[in-house]
Structure 1
Amino acid sequence: MEHQNQTKFDDFELVGFVVYKNYNPLLFTVFFIIYILTLFGNMLIIVVIYYNANLHTPMYFFITNLSCVDILYVSTTTPKLLIMLVTKNKKISFYWCFTQLYMFHSLGIAECYLLVIMAFDRFVAICKPFQYNVLMNNRVIRSLSMACWISGFLLALIPTILTSQVPFCGRRYIHHYFCDLAPILSMACSDITVTVAINRFVGGITSIFNLAIVVLIYLNIIYAIMKIKTTIGRRKAFSTCSSHLTVVTLFYGAACTVYATPKTAHSVEYDKLFALVYAMYTPFLNPIIYSLRNQEVIYGFKKSLQSMKRHIRKR
């Protein structure tokens, strides 16, 4: 039987950054610039890798996939946030809210698995260099990449469908700047113990479990690197992992802070700020980390610029 106070409505209202509402013009400017630079940076990475044959390796294939995920990931939440800051229209329809919830979590899960695959790629390259081309052939890397995307879009269906079936009561305000699980479920007017448990189980599989695999892989990589006799060899081996380690630390650090820490009355605003790290800043920083710290990408970028200049001169 449905709860007597259950309210039926067609839309929600996102609260956003109420504490910083006096700084809306500044926030809009900062977030808009970050969004545009994120799109440009990730698209540039994709183009540079695509047009440079020397970058057609498994590692850069996965980086291309990561850039595609980041473009979609940041575009799931940022446009609505920018609209809220400019127009003060914070309403979002029921269906768009759950579409946003689904896309955000499916892409987040896909990125979790992709980061594991990228760690595995570095493990094979460092620990089994003579078998690398056999183990990481085109068929394998395409299959692994497809598995990341499919896993994300399938697993995200579970929390999305379960949460959409929950009866909501009273005020329809979502205390966040996008539709996320915890803020939506806080409006529930029935027992959601099972829903929360299943959602946490799915989240645990895709975050804590994957992070544990990444840590285990890197322990093996570090052990293999320490066995290298020359300092130059150790430094070169570790440099191929440094960019990926930086991205993993940013992404999992912020995500675990939001989803794995106990909730208090004062944690809502902090959750929004930490959510910005993995929802906006990580996609923005990824192309910078993978380009500025990678000589091959920088060389590929310069080569692309030279090709464009020659093409323009010919015309």
Structure 2
Amino acid sequence: MQATLHQLRVFATVARHRSFTKAADELNITQPTVSSQVKHLANILELPLFEQIGKQLYLTEVGEALLGTCRDIFDRLENFEMQVADFKGMKQGKLRLAAVTTTKYFVPRLLGSFCATYPEIDISLQVINHQQLIQRMTDNEDDLYILSNPPKDINLEIHKILENPLVVVAKSDHPLAEKHNISIQELNGESFISREAGSGTRRAIQELLNKHKVAVRVRLELGSNEAIKHAIAGGLGISVLSQHSLFAKELESELAILDVREFPIERYWYVAYLSSKQLSTIAQTFLEYLLEQSQF
């Protein structure tokens, strides 16, 4: 197969975006050039790499196979570049991380001290919800993933790094705020502020409420812990949040953690990566750093 690395990168970019136009924009080349490079690859293979149905572009079976090969090639090249830097006594290159939204309360601190030790490392951090992270994981887009609810249907290497208790939070003047040892049944009928569909926190809460036959009245669905905290402070209802999200002092006097039995929900933060993935030198270095900082 007489294909160049440039042609493979062009193809992989089109496959990622499912768009020739977006690939051209990212690569800063013209759309006809992108089309020409992809066509050349297809001619070499004597098989089509894409098919268009309506306005949507799809990979063919051989296109999917080539994309997997491209990812393997690029990962190996990147790892080799990092190994060369390592041989020279340097740690430099790029680390690709994806983490669920609540990790923004502690991951930046971890990254700060890591970057101080290895200033030549560039970090790409995607902070997204659980569902989006699982999609990136399925597509093998990152080196490491930080999340609280690892999927069971993806073959992963998983390490526990930090406790992540989920607590019931209400406005400080809520009638339950002064009570102790509250039965979970007292949450029945409460106005509730929920995370968006796809959130791991939402799923864990719903499982516990279902188990105890508790039905809350979902008044709002919001996509961030910050929005939920402000909604609680505004008197719109109660919610269940990661205790890590309450570290900020901004609303401390306006919020209260309720002493509800069955809470906190015991959860943990994990660092994970695909079992089949050969970690780069940089990713391995960051993994070892996380495990050294771990509570476990």
TM over 0.5: no
Structure of greater Rg: 2
Q: Which has the higher contact order (CA 8 A, sep 6+)?
A: 1
Q: Which has the higher strand share?
A: 2
